[in-house]
Chain A
Amino acid sequence: MAKTILAVDDSASIRQMVAFTLKGAGYEVIQAVDGQDALDKASYHQVNLVLTDINMPHMDGLKLLELLRELAHYKNIPILILTTESGDEIKAKGRAAGATGWLVKPFDPKRLLEVISKVID
């Protein structure tokens, strides 16, 4: 069965490109527009990996991370943060919030697939 990835980004273009790339590589993709949406979707879908933007309205990626890590079946799944803020500060915060790893934008399909394959295949 194909692995399912929850892709969270408030930017429709980025989100759809991520989805496009992942689907092309044979993953199932669930898209969410912000942390809240992602949390809702995470709770009724079986997800193998979460890929989230940090800076989003309503609920940012860090908050989402923290809340996801409190859900039993999200304790140990990989959660990657995808963000243009390649600054160490944000990575550190991501780590503290429970991220598995990070990936900087600008988004590069090859790199995205590479990092994802490292954690879920």
Chain B
Amino acid sequence: MSTDLEQFYEIFFEESSELLADMEACLLRLDVNSPDLEDLNAIFRAAHSIKGGAGTFGFTDMTEMTHMLETLLDRLRKGELTVRSEMVDAFLKASDVIKAQLAGHRGENEADPKVAKEVCEELKRLSDEIQDRLPNEAIADADIEMGAATVEIDISNVPEVTVNVPQSKNASLKKTYCIEFSSASMGDAAIENLFANLKRLGDLEELSSADKRDQFKLRLSTESSEEDVWETLAFVVDPANLKIELEANDVSRNAGNVQNFSSNISNAPDLCTNEDELSSEKMPPMQGYGFFPGAPAVPKELTNSDLQSNSMQQQSAHVSKNETQNKVNKPSSKVSAPISPATSETSSIRVSIEKVDQIINLVGELVITQAMLAQTTSQLDPVIFEKLLSGMSQLERNTRDLQESVMSIRMMPISFVFSRYPRVVRDLAAKLNKRVELKTVGENTELDKGLIEKIADPLTHLVRNSLDHGIEVAEKRIAAGKPAQGTITLRAFHQGGNLVIEVSDDGAGLNRGKILVKAKERGLPVNDGMSDQEVWSLIFEAGFSTAETVTDVSGRGVGMDVVKRNIQGMGGRIDIESALGVGTRISIRLPLTLAILDGLSVAVGDQMFIVPLNYIIESMQPSAADIKTISGHGRVVQVRGEYLPVIALHEVFNLHSNVTAVHEGILVILEDEGHKAALFVDDLIGQHQVVIKSLESNYRRVQGVSGATIMGDGKVALILDTAALVLASQQEMV
């Protein structure tokens, strides 16, 4: 079975990650004072689903943790216990543990079992607590005569009864089970784990000899129901090799009125003293399935074991008394009961990203073919070929629409990233003893999936930074006349062809003087006359940190430079605005997608290059007089009083150029991070939206080139790495 299962691991991992994220989101919005039942249910469901999958795949550590989660959650959602913030903390910790365990099974770092154990114990403590708290009303009911052959089981009361059992009485409610199982194919760790779980249920005694390690015989005395014991074991041990029996002399040993009370909870017949009546039909408490007698489509020739002849039968008989009556009346009322429209939420399908990218590639091809056709047909006589040409323009529209729709498949709302920050802020604020509120605006703004994945880490860093260095402690804020609680705002919106993400805080703001002092200490080239903008950008220098004390939160200034590099790597840029005492706003500007770029095509010799449009200020044909040569440093061009370095593309790329005199060609003025340069090319060809292709998938990185694309004629054109070119020209100038 294991080999069969492996192909589903990935699905399970993905699904569990999503469930954990959902769970966390629910937990974070859970109002401890008036918890939303729907949220509790959703959290329960998530834990439950993970448990189901983990059990199936044999990830026992996860099963155990989710089981504990589920137990406590179940009591919460049934209202048997009120939510406390301590529990939410425990849940969050548990979700972290599960996350770590998941990573472990994925082959990443192994989760720390110590932490898991602690969290497990905490959950256990929390769910056990209620038993002390609730009134012990059930005791009266427990006064049932011992030895009765039939026991009334009121199913609707079962859960309450179970929970209401007061701790103090537990000792007398204990039952002793004899457990036998074979551990064939189980690892030592799994066995150890299992023992730990069983011990959690009650007192465990090992009867099997230590030298026979594959066959275990145990005695467990516990107040848990047989069902619980079974569940604990069945997730780990092959049910075929598992036998659980109530110890025969148990009844006499624990003789007392309460004995039958416990039988009232579950598995009543198993406890009956009148054993003869049952022994013939006795089967393992669960063979894993069963049928309901009299239900539709039940197989006619059923063996005894198919019909669950013990407790189930009685219970179901009982239930039918209670509920069939309802049922009789149902059909008429049911049909009229409409299904709430909320249930038909937008459905989605899960498709691998490779498939999507394949479609994008194919559409890219289609666009190219269409462009080629358009080029060819444009030379035809529009009168004679009227129909063909109108078909062509229709094709062009359709292709463009198709391309847009396909690209939108990769788009995901930024909420995928934003949703993780409430947790980050909550944890960190608690750690730093600060009061902070996180606001998010524009969560539905969409961004390419590839970018979503890459933006998360830099953004986390910025949020942590704002909290650590930006927001002041409450006393300081009050002294400054600000509300005690600080606010961090995450905002996303579209602007032009870009997505802008802002991280702003109403904290202390950047301190110009401090930054300058620090920069001087670090030996950075600074002077007091620098503009604010230039000063702020110093914090992106490697190894720069302005925090007075180095914290374990935002670290030692490692990061801001990395943040900047990452953002640039995504084709984006980062800007800072700040006012002392008022706050700081960091804006990240990203292209909407990694896959499409607005570019200007330029020609050098017989080669064509694409210059990303967002770096271009203007293009011009310079007069010879504007070009100056600085000895040993190449040429500069005077543009509106500024001298800009000239980057001759044919020189950079060692190409044969048709034009060598700058004033005979074209200068494209580029700007990157306040630095300008003039790119010298033979000619401008046109503006295009190009599909970015990686050079690296079959080749390697090329200096000065950020990627490639395919032009209308089917030829490859390289996309210039404008930032690198501008940077290189600046260094030459110095």
Contacts and interface: CB of A to CB of B under 8 A. Distances in A.
A48 B234 CA distance: 29
A17 B8 contact: yes
B155 interface: yes
Given A14-B53, A98-B296, A111 B289 contact: yes
B416 interface: no
Contacts of B296: 69, 75-79, 98, 100
For A21, A34, A56, A69, the residue with the greatest tally of chain B CB atoms inside 10 Å of its CB is A69
A16 B11 contact: yes
B347 interface: yes
B51 interface: yes
Given A37-B347, A96-B322, A96-B326, 9 more contacts: A14-B52, A59-B343, A66-B330, A78-B298, A88-B312, A89-B155, A95-B320, A100-B297, A105-B56
B339 A70 contact: no
A11 B331 contact: no
A58 interface: yes
Contacts of A76: 296-297
B292 A100 contact: yes
A107 B331 CA distance: 33
B673 to A, nearest CB: 45
Contacts of A103: 288-289
A101 B239 CA distance: 18
A33 interface: yes
A86 B286 contact: yes
24 contacts: A14-B53, A17-B8, A20-B4, A20-B8, A55-B49, A58-B345, A59-B339, A59-B343, A79-B297, A85-B48, A88-B227, A91-B290, A91-B316, A95-B292, A98-B296, A100-B291, A100-B297, A101-B289, A102-B292, A105-B55, A105-B56, A107-B56, A108-B288, A119-B291
B151 to A, nearest CB: 13
A118 to B, nearest CB: 5
B227 A86 contact: yes
Interface in A32-76: 33-37, 39, 55-59, 66-67, 69-70, 75-76
B292 A101 contact: yes
Contacts of A107: 52, 56
Interface string B518-555: 00000000000000000000000000000000000000
A58 to B, nearest CB: 4
5 A-B pairs with least C-beta separation: A106-B55, A101-B291, A13-B12, A78-B297, A96-B323
B286 A13 contact: no
Contacts of B52: 11, 14, 84, 105-107
Interface in A92-121: 92-96, 98-109, 111, 114-115, 118-119
B27 to A, nearest CB: 17
A44 B582 CA distance: 62
A67 B331 CA distance: 9
Interface in B290-335: 290-292, 295-299, 302, 306, 311-312, 315-316, 318-320, 322-324, 326-327, 330-331, 334-335
Contacts of A106: 52, 55-56, 234-235
Interface of A: 10-14, 16-17, 20-21, 33-37, 39, 55-59, 66-67, 69-70, 75-80, 84-89, 91-96, 98-109, 111, 114-115, 118-119
A70 B12 CA distance: 34
Given A13-B15, A91-B316, A105-B55, A99 B288 contact: no
Contacts of A78: 296-298
A118 B297 CA distance: 10
B452 interface: no
* Interface SS, B side: helix
Given A70-B334, A84-B51, A16 B8 contact: yes
A111 B49 CA distance: 20
A13 B158 contact: no
Nearest to B331: A70
A86 B296 CA distance: 21
Contacts of B343: 34-36, 58-59
A64 to B, nearest CB: 10
B352 interface: no
Contacts of B8: 13, 16-17, 20
B252 interface: no
Interface string B219-241: 00000000100110011000100
Contacts of B320: 95-96
A87 B334 contact: no
A85 B318 CA distance: 20
B289 A115 contact: yes
A85 to B, nearest CB: 8
Nearest to B63: A106
B42 interface: yes
Contact of A101 (B11, B290, B344): B290
